[in-house]
Structure formats: structure tokens, C-alpha cells
Structure 1
């Protein structure tokens, strides 16, 4: 005699599981809506304006690539290349000095020094804009405190130049690099150094053949992050150098305010689209490097 097993209805169980999962998905909806409103709508408005051409005589509008073409010519192209050059140079210098400072902090035996440097880096990495420009003008400007005492003006130092602006950018880029590269330096395992020493490697050989190859993705990722931060900076340069150093952010501000030519607002939106493209390329490089470094240092 065989006993029939009771029939289990799977549908209610599956339905109950779906109901339990529903609140998790619903919790993401406000974030997606906020992102769509704060980022999606401005992006669509920028795209629409970048391809919209307005006839100043009749006021009629049409879609064309004229604004994008203008944004890659003349003074606009010079400003775009100037921003790329300034960002690349300042990011490269900050990457080097940030690595050295972070290595000194990580290997320090004083916990207070480590915490103090990391805390200060967190503050200084977010210190910029007009206050930073004023601090440097008061210190290293033409009539700055250190300029007169050290005779920097007689030596040819000019704060309101490309290299002067680079120096100012390093003030917040180096701390940002310290915060970025410190976790990677902490991920270097002591066993790797010991294995290298047991095989007769010197300190320099360990760094050249073991540490730097492992840190290369993190270093490149940090450089890309610093590049993007310097590329998007505006207030510091606007308050300090004005139009002395050609930068794309300053060109956008001038076009929007009509300081150069009336009716160039859409060219400013085209310049903004150029910046978005550059930032997109930066992120396309940064994200794979970040994943690769985390795989090595996990």
C-alpha cells in the first residue's frame, strides 16, 4: 500500500517571496528619481542647448552642430587644451608627492602623526574656491607676505601664471592623493617584502619589481581622479587669475555672462558638453583601474 504525498502549491510560496523582495526594490526608487531629476534633466537641457542655434535677427532656432564646431576652434580650443594641460601637470606632480607623503605616513611608528595627517588631508582636499585663492594671494601674491620677505618677485616668481596656478592646485590635490593611495599602500603585504628580502632583493629592487607593479593601477587611478578634480575646478582660478590663464571653465562663465560676445550661451553649453566628454573618458579609464587594484590588494 502506497501513501500519496500531500500536494504542495509552489505558486503561493513564490508569490510570497516576490512580496518580500518588493520593499528592497522600492527603496531604490527615491534615489533613482533624485538622480534622474538632479542629473538627467540638466544633462538633457545641456544637450538640447548645445545643438540649438539661434538666429539673432529673427530669433528662430534650429538644430545644428555649429556650437560644437565653434567650441573646438580659436580661443575656446585654446582654453580646452589649457585646462587639459594644467590638469595633467598638476595631477602628475600631486601623484608623486602624494605617494611619497602617504608612504611616510603608512610606515610611521607614530599613530598620532598618521591620524593627524589623514585628518588634515581630508580637510585640505575639500578646501578650495575663493578662500584658497585669497590665502595664496595674501601669502605669495605681488604684495604677499612671503613674496617680499623671500624676494620671490625679483626671482621671477609670478603667482598669476600657469605655474602659480599649478602650485595652488597642488594645495588640495596632494591631500586628495594621500587619501586615495593610503589604502593601497596599506594593502601591500609584509610577506611580499620578506619574500623579496629572502631572495636577496634590495629595497629599491623590491619597489621596482614588486610594490610599484602592484600599485600601478592605484597610482594611475589616483592620477585620473586628480586630473578630473583639477579639470572641473573653477572658483579658485576665476578669483585668482581671471583670463590670464586660458581655462575652459572660465570661458564657459564668460560665454554665459556675455562678457565676450552676446548670444554665445549655447556655445557655453557646447563647451560644457566637451567637458562632459572628457570627464566620461576619465571615468572610463578610472573604473577599470580601480577594479584591478582592488583585486590585487583585496
Structure 2
């Protein structure tokens, strides 16, 4: 009877070099593999987090001093009588909040909300295709130029912006006179005219906001849709827009907040002809209120803070959901 030969084990050098048969060689652990597989120590993680909080401390202090303390002062003043009141001021009252939601003040608040909703919606619709053209462009210089210009225009406002539109589209502006816009009922100093001015910086802001989300759309999704017979319209309707919906809504909310808080441009251009809550606050701070209602401006400011908090409460979850989809 013939016995089977005993298999000879592979030498150590073959095991280390990977020259043995598959499945018969056990890799020799080394210092490099041990270091790579070593789990991070809990103490090291705590130290990293502590340094991160320490690095963010200046920003947190700035936020508390620049935003927290003024917000607390506004909230306290909104519920107390002013120093020009008959009782000497400082007593608790809800008359300031009640007055800020009645009459001309409520009209101004509603006017700001309407203006913000309209301009944010138009800027979202106009800015999306512009951002898509930038995101899909093959020319790097074109993309850099558009993004740089959008960054400048998104922060261009105040008196210079008002002067530019008055000189071009005002009653005696160059474009108004050249094309006879006044004969067709055009007026810059109305709700519609102010909406056009706001779009000048809201559309670039939308381009900056939505372009990263458009760049996050994967090419494989478009190719898969086209391979299954979908058209471009069907791709955008069933794939791209559902994925971009959180980013679009987040951008809309951001534009709403930017329009709602704008003050200098409207004040320099239309004055009190278009009622806005920001200009009512300016008038109240300058003393244009009845005796005993000096803190009414603080109540109006508290109304704006509440609206801004609601905007942020909607914006932040949408941004987190969009980041999860586009990661």
C-alpha cells in the first residue's frame, strides 16, 4: 500500500512575501499593521475635542457679546415700559408687543413678509438655471468669474445700490427715459420696483448657495436615467429635483431672511412709501413714536428675531438632509 506524501510547509520567506498557495499562508503581523489596526484611545479623543472647543471659544464669545446680550436686552425692553412713561419706566407690560402687531406696524410686518416671499421665490427660480450653467460649464475661467461676481453682487447693497438704480431706472433714469418706461406705468419707488432692486443681490446669493448642491449630483444618476429611456425633463422631475429639494428650500429660506433683514437700500430709495418693518424700527429708534412708547422699537425688533428664528429652524434641518443626500 502506497502512502501519500506528507506536504512540506512553505518556508517563512514565502509566507512573508506572499508566494505561498492561496489560503495556506497566514500573514505575519508587523509593527505597521499593529499601528494601523490600533483603535484610538478614549483619552486622545477627549483631548482632541477639548482643543476643538478651545479653538472655537473666540467665536462663541463673539456670538454671545454680539448677538446674545443684545437679544436679551431687546427681549427685556420689549416687555417693560420705557423711561418716558408716566410710571418712570421699568415695569412689566405687554403693551409693546400688542402695539407692534396692530395698525401700521402690523402692515409693515406683513409688507416685509410679502416682499421677502416674492423676491425669494423669483430669485430661486431664476438662480437655479444660472447655477446649473455654472456647475456644468467646461470652462474653469467662466465658472470662477461667475462665482466671484456673484460673491461681490450678493454683498452689494445699501446707498450705492439705491443710487445705481435711481440713476438707471428712477423717474429721470437713463433707461426710464430712453425706453419711455414711465408711460407704461413703471415706477421704481413702489413695491414692484423695490422687488427688482432686491433681486439684484438675491439672485447671485442663490447662485452661490445652490451651486455646490448641483455639483453634488452624480453623473451616474443621469446616465442611468438616460439608459432607461428617460428624457431630460423626466430626469429633472424624478431624480434631480427630488434630491435638490432640501437645498432649494434651504436656499429659499436663506433668501427670505436676507430680504427680510434688508434696511439701508429700501430706506435710501423708497423711504416710507413702501411699509417695511425694518424702516418702522428705524423710525421708532429715532423717537418717532408716541409718549410712553419708547420701547416699541424693541418690540418690533423682537418680532423680527422671532421670524428669523423660525427661518433658521426650517433652514438647518433642510441643510442637514441635503448634505446627507449629496455626500
TM-score normalised according to structure 1 size? 0.91
- Partner in structure 1 of residue 18 of structure 2: none
What's the CA shift for 1:106?
1.7
- Partner in structure 1 of residue 77 of structure 2: 49
Q: 1:107 aligns with which of 136, 139, 142?
A: 136
Query: Is 1:282 equivalent to 2:311 in the alignment?
Result: yes
- Partner in structure 1 of residue 173 of structure 2: 144
What's the CA shift for 1:53?
1.4
Mark the runs of 5 or more structure 1 residues left unpaired by the alignment. 1-12
- Partner in structure 2 of residue 233 of structure 1: 262
Q: Match of 2:91, SS?
A: strand
Shift of the 20–283 alpha-carbon distance from structure 1 to 2, 3 Å rule, reads: closer
| Counterparts of 1:181 and 1:174, CA distance in 2 | 11
Query: Is 1:190 equivalent to 2:219 in the alignment?
Result: yes
- Partner in structure 2 of residue 87 of structure 1: 116
Q: Match of 2:181, SS?
A: coil
| Counterparts of 1:251 and 1:229, CA distance in 2 | 17
Q: Match of 1:265, SS?
A: coil
Shift of the 171–18 alpha-carbon distance from structure 1 to 2, 3 Å rule, reads: closer
- Partner in structure 2 of residue 181 of structure 1: 210
| Counterparts of 2:118 and 2:45, CA distance in 1 | 55
**Partner deviation per Cα, 1:26-48 (whole Å, 9 max, x = no partner):** 44433333322222211111111
Mark the runs of 5 or more structure 2 residues left unpaired by the alignment. 1-40
| Greater displacement, 207-216 / 107-116 | 107-116
Matches of residues 1-298 of structure 1 in structure 2 within 5 Å?
24-54=52-82, 56-298=85-327
What's the CA shift for 1:285?
0.3
| Counterparts of 1:294 and 1:219, CA distance in 2 | 12
Q: Match of 2:81, SS?
A: strand
User: Alpha carbon RMSD of aligned pairs, Å?
Assistant: 2.0
Asked if the contact 2:85–2:291 (Cα under 8 Å) also holds between the matched residues in 1, the reply is no
| Counterparts of 1:14 and 1:99, CA distance in 2 | 45
| Counterparts of 1:285 and 1:17, CA distance in 2 | 32
Asked if the contact 1:258–1:264 (Cα under 8 Å) also holds between the matched residues in 2, the reply is no
Shift of the 62–153 alpha-carbon distance from structure 1 to 2, 3 Å rule, reads: same
TM-score normalised according to structure 2 size? 0.83
Alignment: residue pair count: 286
| Greater displacement, 86-95 / 29-38 | 29-38
Shift of the 192–62 alpha-carbon distance from structure 1 to 2, 3 Å rule, reads: same
| Counterparts of 2:45 and 2:201, CA distance in 1 | 49
| Counterparts of 1:156 and 1:102, CA distance in 2 | 33
**Partner deviation per Cα, 1:164-216 (whole Å, 9 max, x = no partner):** 00000000000000000000111111100110011110111011111111111
Shift of the 255–16 alpha-carbon distance from structure 1 to 2, 3 Å rule, reads: closer
Asked if the contact 1:214–1:293 (Cα under 8 Å) also holds between the matched residues in 2, the reply is yes
**Greater C-alpha radius of gyration:** 2
